[in-house]
Structure 1
Amino acid sequence: MDFGRLITAMVTPFDKAGEINWEETSRLVDYLVEEQKTEGLVVCGTTGESPTLTDDEKLKLFAYVKEEARGRCKVIAGTGSNSTRHSIHLTKEAEKLGVDGALLVVPYYNKPNQEGLYQHFAGIAAETRLPLILYNVPGRTSVCMSAATTIRLAQIPNIVATKECVSVDQVTLIAAGSPQDFHVYSGDDAAALPTLAVGGHGIISVASHIVGAQMAEMISSYISGDVRKAGEIHRKLFPIFKGLFECPQPLPNPSAVKYALEMRGLKVGSVRLPLISPTEDEAAFIEALLKS
């Protein structure tokens, strides 16, 4: 399974009451595919506020986005958790709905060791035929899956990729040691181009909500051999890559990108507690960032 090189970790639109806004979800899918050139959508990942979505909401979103995508992009369901049994259940339910793959985060809070991580992901893979993407984000989980464990998991046929939020060093080690058809994605927009340079496949992005078309051009330029142009685009987009998270001080994802989408006329609403919307100063920073 090739999910493409530019995948968007899609926000979940909410209405004023904090419920899923289905009409705006449809509009957002069209916008991301047609205008921002995304090749895949992660539904109910971190940017989709998965911790505050119920299983019922997640399953409805998986089915709805798959239908709205109409085959124009791959739909990847965020089905991972810190419970192996629960992850298996949600992954199997997502498979029934016809999604193209699943994203499985490293278990958080209970802090398994490397063997526990291997058995967790191998156990899920054994219970589904879906292509699976691992998701290593130690800043959120407090556990870092080693390159060696990822390479070991890459030998399992339906574990086809990983999303890495550690370092370009980690990407390099995994790309060097895993099968040729195992794809390594950056989970850090600012590392998208460096990831390609060391053998990674692409990016699972937040910034692609706003500058996806430019990111697609950057990736295409690099793949076609125009490294200078790719570098120019990267440097131009770098303030967006950093600003959506620093804003000008750290702001929890997806607060900033949701506000930026509102500025673009997409009524995706605010975030669910315990996340909060940008302050006036933060909002002014985002507005200036986009205008620049």
Structure 2
Amino acid sequence: MSIAAELSPTPFGRLLTAMVTPFDAQGAVDLALAGRLARHLVEEGSDGLVVCGTTGESPTLSWQEQVQLLEAVREAVGPDVHVLAGTGSNSTNEAVEATREAAAAGADGALVVVPYYNKPPQDGLEAHFRAIAKAAPELPLMLYNIPGRTGCSMTPATVSRLMDCTNVVSFKAASGTTDEVSQLRLACGQRLAIYSGDDGLTLPMLSVGAVGVVSVASHVVGRPMRSMIEAHFKGENAVALAHHERLLPLFKALFATTNPIPVKAALELSGWPVGVPRLPLIPLEPAMRVALSDTLAALRQT
């Protein structure tokens, strides 16, 4: 039987939301609001939540804030919801320590991004992720490749060599191409659960072997996202495609500028006052906000 005919496991479910970090009017992390938002996202169809990732503004959160946020979300949603913590860094020592702390704080997994800015070679990437895997051997890891932000891309061959780490179980594919999914499947087999890291590519990636998505759009369209994914796995291709085409304008609007600027505005427009991003990110500019509001309104009418 070919690898392409094998279905991968779903260690964290099919729909994960990469949560924003709510801030209050003074710019402090609003832990109470984070808990309420987390429960809402689960009610709207999320199987799991990723805290302190890119969408959660991890570069401007202190390590203490990240642990507090993880603990607050973990407590809010209970033990039956998958909660992953972003623990990546361009310092291996920092990523190792953050991953250990996430495990101790009750995370179900860690999202570990490819090191950014220092652009290590593939052997360096392998050593980096081996150190993290060894530091918390009981904690499942989701490797995260997003070369548009990191300036560095991990190859499928490198991922394949890491598959002897038993806690390397999943991969967030955000290179902007479905070919990454196919190449990972061929290199790593079905044990690696591949998640789309791009809302707009979710359906195409599912068609070539991805198991789900780490979503931004699910903050405001969780149920339609879940319906699209479920329709795909039921073989209802026309239904899944109709959901994809209906949601596509929103996918584009949410990435009209740097994430999470638009999704924070979308949440505010939807009645969730999660605050503005921390500098150097800024609030969504007025013309884009009007366009986003129109897109959300059009979705509600269909």
- Contact in 1 for aligned 2:36/2:76 (Cα 8 Å): no
Alignment of 1:1-292 (within 5 A): 2-35=11-44, 37-128=45-136, 129-166=138-175, 167-246=177-256, 251-292=257-298
Q: How much does 1:181 deviate?
A: 2.3
- Give the superposition deviation at 1:73: 1.5
What secondary structure does 1:109 align onto? coil
Total equivalences in the alignment: 287
Moved over 6 A (4+): none
Question: C-alpha distance in 2, partners of 1:254/1:168?
Answer: 23
- Could you tell me how far apart the structure 2 residues matched to 1:260 and 1:180 are? 36
TM-score by structure 2 length?
0.93
The answer (yes or no) to whether the contact 1:33–1:72 under 8 Å persists in 2 is no
Identify unmatched segments of 5+ residues in structure 2. 1-9
* Counterparts of 2:297 and 2:238, CA distance in 1: 25
CA distance in 2, matches of 1:56, 1:213: 33
Q: How many percent identity over aligned positions?
A: 47
Distance (whole Å) between structure 1 residues aligned to residue 78 and residue 68 of structure 2: 16
Once superposed, what is the RMSD of the aligned Cα atoms? 1.0
State the Cα distance separating 1:192 from its structure 2 match: 0.3
Range that drifts further, 207-216 or 42-51: 207-216
Q: Is contact 1:163-1:184 (8 Å) kept?
A: yes
Q: Which amino acid aligns with 1:17?
A: Q
Residue type at the aligned position of 1:171:
V
1:151 to partner: Cα distance: 2.1
Q: Aligned partners of 1:54 and 1:130: how far apart in 2?
A: 22
Provide the rounded CA distance (Å) in 1 between the counterparts of 2:223 and 2:162.
33
**Aligned AA for 1:33?**
V
CA deviation string 1:69-124 (max 9, x = no partner): 11241000101100111101011011111110000000001110001001100111
